[in-house]
Amino acid sequence: MTRAYSLLSGLSRQGLAANRALCKTGVAALGATGLILAGCADQSGSSGTGAVIAPATQATSHKVGVLLPLSGNNAALGHELLAGVQLALGGAGLPPDLQLDVHDTAAIGGAASATSAALQAGDGILLGPLTSGDTAVAAPAAQAAGIPVMAFTSDITQGRPGVWVMGITPEEQVQQLVAQAKRDGRQHFAALLPDNALGHAMGNGLISACRDQGLAAPAVAYHNGTADSIAQTLRQLSNYDARVAAVKQAMPATPVPGATTTRGNSSEVTGLTELPKLAQLPASLAAALGQDPNQPPAPTVQPGQASDGASALVAPAGPQITLGAPPFDALLLADIGLGLKNVLDALVVTQVNMPDVRIMGPGLWASFASKLGAIKGAWYAAPDPTSRQAFVSRFMARNHHMPKPLADMSYDAATAALTVARSGVPGYPAESLTRPGGFAGVDGTFTLLPDGRVRRALGVFEVMGNGSDARMISAPMQAKAGTSG
């Protein structure tokens, strides 16, 4: 089964309470499926309020500072990340001055004190912190000291020159999806997204991806999470009322005996005005077309059956009423759980169907792709799970448990630091960290871009339905520096 990755780095006010519960109970890791929300917003107040003290001179050693929550609510995640770092730096042939300097961002003073201690110790690079909030605290002092930061958040807003966001961001996933959809001939994109941090990250990613790839600006709409908000938002986004009006205008008010359509089939006219038995239209569409959604279907008596209609309802051969296509041929979603169920219900009501519209979603879907049969053919972007096997074997041999996906990120960050240290340059200069060839990571090649983004090799997966795992339809391509998507 494919994996979901660290995707959500901060939460809007609407989702904050839910995220607190997830992170406190450990559900945020969802160990059974490998889903990690690496960028849980800082909730413990551990960032501290004191000023971070930076040394007067920049460290030029290869000492590696590690900033992680090793106590408190996120201690388990912190220790998992530390295990990834230790695995990467635990082999033979290390540069003599490469040492680990570990600091607890959940201790007294929070991320501010941990960062000050690391800088005063002369660390040449900082791996961490975990959260978006802690990264916002640590990054300014590290930048002032000329010390690079490889943060384990996936909040792209924390990325800047000298501060890299190591999590697989929603924006990066959307870039891959749009590129694949464009190759598939899709030209008009839209998004129906939750009004929270993940939704806005996906929406911003879609706007950027369409711009970068020369496509028309997408239509992006946000809902507040309720079934009614989802239904109304999709109704507007899909031009539902106009599509219903077009069908209503094209059909007679009442069936005319003997009347025919352009294809000469009189039953088609009846089919547009009389709903098929046992398959009536949604109430909103029935009302718009002048039908009575509350009127029960008339029973049809079959030969040899009782005339009371019991067990005698059948669907006539007449065609279903079909609306025209919506004004887009690719739709991006970001919901999971109950929100996704409500979205799928709204897709049925508004007749936003595949293959006319390609449904795309977040890498979070990887953890339950076998249960998404209702949107068979939908896509999401994620790493190729087969590329992780060697790392899993090494991690299990050392730590005696399966690694959580967060450990991939810390291993990758430590691998990049080790590679630069072995090159013999003093410290960790930006030109070495942003080398065009990138670095060999757990899930494939990754490249650090000068602006703080990280490009990773992601594949595009298609939901197969029938309880089957998703199928990779586009293999990951080597990530290259300087590319926007």
Residue 133: CA count within 13 A, CB half-sphere: 17
What are the DSSP calls for 415-430, one per residue? HHHHHHHHTT-SS--H
pLDDT score, position 91? 81
Q: Which residues contact 358 (CB under 8 A, 6 or more apart)?
A: 181, 184, 186, 329, 330, 331, 377, 378, 379
- Write the DSSP symbol of residue 6: -
Largest CA distance in the chain: 96
Grouping H, G, I as helix, E, B as strand and the rest as coil, residue 286 is helix
Q: What is the rounded CA–CA span in Å between residue 118 and residue 426?
A: 18
List C-alpha distances in Å: 280 to 228, 248, 308.
Answer: 21, 16, 21
Record the tokens describing residue 117, joined without a space: 């201690």
pLDDT per 10-residue tile (average), the chain, 485 residues = 37 36 32 35 43 51 96 97 97 88 97 97 97 97 96 94 95 95 97 96 97 97 97 97 91 53 39 36 54 47 36 39 94 97 96 96 94 96 91 97 95 98 94 95 94 93 94 75 40
CB atoms within 10 A of CB 18: 13
258: left (phi over 0), alpha (psi -120 to 50) or beta: left
| pLDDT for the residue 478 | 56
Q: Tokens for 452?
A: 């703080």
Instruction: Give the CA dihedral 423, 429, 431, 436, nearest 10 degrees.
Output: 50
Go through 317-326 and write b for each residue having 16 or more CB atoms within 10 A of its CB, e for each that does not: ebeebebebb
Tokens in use for 94?
Answer: 């290390």
pLDDT at 45: 41
Query: Which string of DSSP letters, residue by residue, matches 240-259?
Result: HHHHHHHHHHHS-SS--TT-
Q: How far apart are the first and last CA of the chain?
A: 26
From the list 29, 35, 106, the residue with the least C-alpha distance to 71 is 106
Q: How far apart are CA 291 and CA 376, in angstroms?
A: 31
| CA-based nearest residue to 206, from 226, 224, 186, 225 | 186
Rounded CA-CA distance 6/366 in Å is 12
The pLDDT score that the predictor gives to residue 250 is: 83
d(CA 131, CA 138): 11
CB 334 within 8 A of CB 198: yes
CA R_g for the chain: 27
* Main-chain dihedrals φ then ψ at residue 114, nearest 5 degrees: -65, -40
Residues 6+ apart with CB under 8 A from 32: none
Q: For position 294, what pLDDT does the model report?
A: 54
Residues 466 and 241: their CA atoms lie apart, in Å, by: 33
